[in-house]
Structure 1
Amino acid sequence: MTMPQAAPPADPAARARQPLVVVDDVVKHFPLPGRLSGSRQRVHSVDGVTFTIAPGEVLGLVGESGCGKSTLARAMLGLTPVDSGRVLFDGTDVARARGSQRKELRRSMQLVFQDPFAALDPRMRLGTSLDAPLAQHGLGTREERHRRIVEVLGHVGLDESFLGRRPRECSGGQLQRIVVARALLLRPRLLICDEPTSALDASVRAQILNLLMELKDELDLTLLMISHDLRVVRHVCDRVAVMYLGEIVEVATRDELFESPAHPYTRALLAASMADERLPATEEPGPRTPYSALRGEPPSPVHPPAGCRLHPRCPQARDRCRTEEPMLVPGTPGHLAACHYPYT
């Protein structure tokens, strides 16, 4: 069999006008484990999330740990079944795809894991790990697969000598390049990067981010960049979606979000980003005006608050926020916020 080729769009102009990815009102709850599993208590991991990603776009998805970002990513890839809603990739319902259609979807959407050490079998040589996805899809002869692997290693700045190494013989930055290379082997159109630099030393984070941006342009990729670090998002993303306790609370272009954040949670993230001196910035994040910090800790996702889920922590909360759930609606063109009193 021949190696996978990137399929040219039948109508490039029409395809450019349509979203590549549509996440439509996706809900995913998990029953509590153990002796409470028979109860009706469930973790509200993802609760009615909707957004789109255009071809060639880099969309950032940000929020605190535990807000549902990784669960949403797995749902988009079809690795976690959703309770309701749907994910469309180039018009195809990911959950309903079967047979060859499902196999093609798996080639077209790939995931870059957070921890490169955990993403690779420590007992397996890197050449074997890289060959596995091609062999699993029955693509090419052994020689053809080897040529493809060497070609992709060149894209990420590594050479053929790495194929004989085991993960312990590489640095964290080299392993993350290997993980990126493995994701690219099947020529995907969408790359989901789940905190791709958080497990790396500060000195190599910018290198990996710059590499992803170079590959995005070189290979015509669409990216979903999941991060809790707004400095990373500002460096690489075109638009940003902000997630809190299973819901999207703000969506805007990068410049709009950093220059005029509408939601109190986004403003609190900006304040935390500006105060965090442990992470080296590639650019200065956001406006110079300090924003109010949130009070306390996030509520339990098992019992999310009524009304606006941020209201127990929000310094601007009013009576309406405690009883009425805000909808994600536009304030300015292309800038959505789920807040009763945005920009206050």
Structure 2
Amino acid sequence: MKSLLIVSDAWHPQINGVVRSIERTQGEMERLGVRVEILSPADFRTVPCPTYPEIRLTLATPAVLRREIAARDCGHLHIATEGPLGLLAARAARQSGRIFTTSYHTRFPEYLSARMPVPLDWSYSWLRRFHNAGHGCMVATGTLERALGRRGFVNLMRWSRGVDHDLFRPFESSVLPADLPGPVFMYVGRVAVEKNIEAFLDLDLPGSKVVVGDGPQLGALRAAYPDVLFTGARVGEDLARHYASADVVVFPSLTDTFGNVLLEALACGVPVAAYPVMGPVDIVADTGAGVLHADLGLAARAALQIPRARCREVALGYTWERSTRQFIDNCMAANRLAAAAVRAA
């Protein structure tokens, strides 16, 4: 594969796992000699998403998308998200007979039901139509693959993730206030209702709680939990140093499909505590680098006993090079699948 176009509703200035995954895949593919183009809301007129204004929704038409896709002249099309831009790109691809793959990053049905009473079956129905219309849907874990398969999704392909071991690494000194009582339990990620952060903040734990991240729920949580340290969003080495300053990273989400945060914490030598659900089950499981339990407080306290060297060792097994080669193999397999379908017809 010599060239690739990635269409994504999630892009800068958003800071999330989807954006980071696309960025790192783009960098690795370019290092391997593949030309990568990104089509994002930055290329169109947009409006803010209701209740989540930092997310921009694209205003365009299928005809415009067809022209934009053709202008980039790439050998393969990958649609990373199911937002307005992704939906338009899929429609444009179908109309022009273009082969494309998709990826399932976010459990939108669960996120939507957390905000309003929308039945899960309704949401999964339109997501299934969207992803099954492509020639392959990439998923990060075996747990997600099995869950989507039970709901009728087809042509599922495994695409795991990596972590930057040079950036996310142990640091000797803490960036947190010197008078912050230990041990330090930390949440890292978007501050939004679907992340279930209050399950962490309500825990009876020794020491201190720290929340690193930004999002629509930040103001409300700051007001409701004055004893918690909220640092706001952190990036780059500053983010890595915050991870490394924690004793345990607590991951309270029940709806993530993977959890890049888990790998970043482990790479910094920090054990994780989480519920035994999709993402943590696939990454932590029986590795000895974290504790999974239905009682999140029990998991957090038990994780204090885990050697930091073991966490780093587990994270070293995940690389962006391996992830990217898996992505490329999936794209090539999708093209073979499409060609076989044409021959069969």
Question: For this structure pair, what is the TM-score category when the shorter chain's length is used for normalisation?
Answer: under 0.3
Considering Cα pairs closer than 8 Å and 6+ residues apart, tell me whether 1 or 2 has the greater RCO. 1
TM-score by structure 1 length?
0.27
